[in-house]
Structure 1
């Protein structure tokens, strides 16, 4: 992602969200602004000492965020489903 664009996106999204999620898409319709996020493909801290891999995504969660320019903002977030193969 271009650095200038990333800085702008960081100002609009909740603080720190781009550390854990990638911006996949965005669009605007009569309901407002929709921003689509997917969790990054990096093993969560609690599973880093285990052998694990991503097994797709959980169902999308829609979070209503603060308005931007008097338009509703919906964050569509998809979290990864992790399969732990073995401990240690």
Structure 2
């Protein structure tokens, strides 16, 4: 059995339920559970909806780039694997920075969504490979 040191037990546990590598780039800032009234298309199957809110970590490589944090982008909504009869929606905010000229920039581009969908990459591959 592989043993791994875990600085945060909750992050270790959450890593089993979130897309691969998500906690390398983002912090969980809030989790909400919403009772599903079943009125949304294709949502009637799920009794509740789990909303997981994630903010990008400050992953700058030192201050040599001269970038200053400048808030977050509007959240991107990503549908992920259901967890225990709960539809899962990730709300991901990317970190913005200002450069020395005052322009707003985003540093990294992560593979968060499957091309042309609102699904996480892993969930999109899973559904694409489904032989139905």
Higher RCO structure (Cα 8 Å, ≥6 apart): 1
State if a TM-score over 0.5 links the two structures.
yes
CA distance in 2, matches of 1:27, 1:50: 36
Structure number with the higher strand fraction is: 1
Structure 1, unmatched stretches of 5+, are none
- Relative to the length of structure 1, the TM-score reads 0.82
User: In structure 1, how many angstroms separate the alpha carbons of the residues matched to 2:87 and 2:7?
Assistant: 26
Report the counterpart of residue 95 of structure 2 in structure 1: 80
Partner residue in 2 for 1:34: 51
Deviations 1:44-84 (A, max 9, x none): x6xx7521111111111111101001211000111011112
From 65, 78, 96, give the equivalent of 1:50: 65
Secondary structure of 1:12's aligned partner: coil
CA RMSD between the two structures: 2.3
Aligned counterpart, 2:78: 63
Q: Which runs of 4+ in 1 moved over 2 A?
A: 1-4
Unaligned runs of 5+ in 2: 1-5, 37-48, 102-132
